[in-house]
Structure 1
Amino acid sequence: MTSDRRGLQPRKQPRQVRAELTRQRILDAAARVFAEHGYAAGTTNRIAERARVSIGSLYQYYPNKDAILVELLTRHLDAGMAALSRHQDEPSPKSIEGVMRRQVRSAIENHRDDPQLLRVMFEQGPRAPELLARVAQHELRHIAHTRRLLRGHPEVRVADLDVAARLVVSTVEMVVHRMMAGPGRIDIAHLEDELVTMLTRYLTGGPVAPAGT
Structure 2
Amino acid sequence: MAADRHSLRARKEPRQARAELTRQRILTAAAHVFAEHGYAAGTTNRIAEHARISIGSLYQYYPNKDAILLELVTRHLEAGRLSLMAHQHGEQPESIEEIMRGVVRSVIGNHLDDPKLLQVMMEQTPRAPELTEKVTRYERERVAFTRDLLARHPEVRVTDVDVAAHLVVATVETVVHQLVAAPRAVDAGRLEDELVAMVTRYLTVP
Q: If the TM-score is normalised by the length of the shorter chain, which range does it land in? A: over 0.9
Q: Displaced runs of 4+ in structure 1, greater than 2 A? A: none
- Write the distance in 2 (CA, Å) between the matches of 1:93 and 1:43: 47
Offset at 1:36? Answer: 1.3
RMSD (CA atoms): 1.0
SS of residue paired to 2:155: coil
- Write the distance in 2 (CA, Å) between the matches of 1:182 and 1:122: 11
Q: Which amino acid aligns with 2:105?
A: R
TM score, norm. by length of structure 1: 0.94
For residues 54-100 of structure 1, the C-alpha deviation after alignment (integer angstroms, 9 at most, x for no partner) is: 00000000000010011001001111111122123212211000111
Tell me which residue corresponds to 1:52. 52
Offset at 1:44? Answer: 0.2
TM score, norm. by length of structure 2: 0.97
- Write the distance in 2 (CA, Å) between the matches of 1:135 and 1:12: 24
For residues 133-178 of structure 1, the C-alpha deviation after alignment (integer angstroms, 9 at most, x for no partner) is: 1001000100101111111211100010011101100000000111
Tell me which residue corresponds to 2:6. 6
Tell me which residue corresponds to 1:203. 203
Q: Contact 2:84 / 2:107 at 8 angstroms: preserved in 1? A: no
Is residue 129 of structure 1 aligned with residue 140 of structure 2? Answer: no
Tell me which residue corresponds to 1:27. 27
Tell me which residue corresponds to 1:158. 158
Q: Which amino acid aligns with 1:140?
A: R
Which range moved further: 83-92 or 100-109?
Answer: 83-92
State the identity %: 67
Equivalent residues in 2 for 1:53-92, closer than 5 Å: 53-92=53-92
- Write the distance in 2 (CA, Å) between the matches of 1:76 and 1:64: 19
- Write the distance in 1 (CA, Å) between the matches of 2:8 and 2:193: 39
Which range moved further: 112-121 or 54-63?
Answer: 112-121
SS of residue paired to 2:142: helix
SS of residue paired to 2:110: helix
Q: Which amino acid aligns with 2:87?
A: H
- Write the distance in 2 (CA, Å) between the matches of 1:164 and 1:94: 19
SS of residue paired to 2:53: coil
- Write the distance in 2 (CA, Å) between the matches of 1:88 and 1:173: 16
Instruction: Name structure 2 gaps, 5 residues minimum.
Output: none
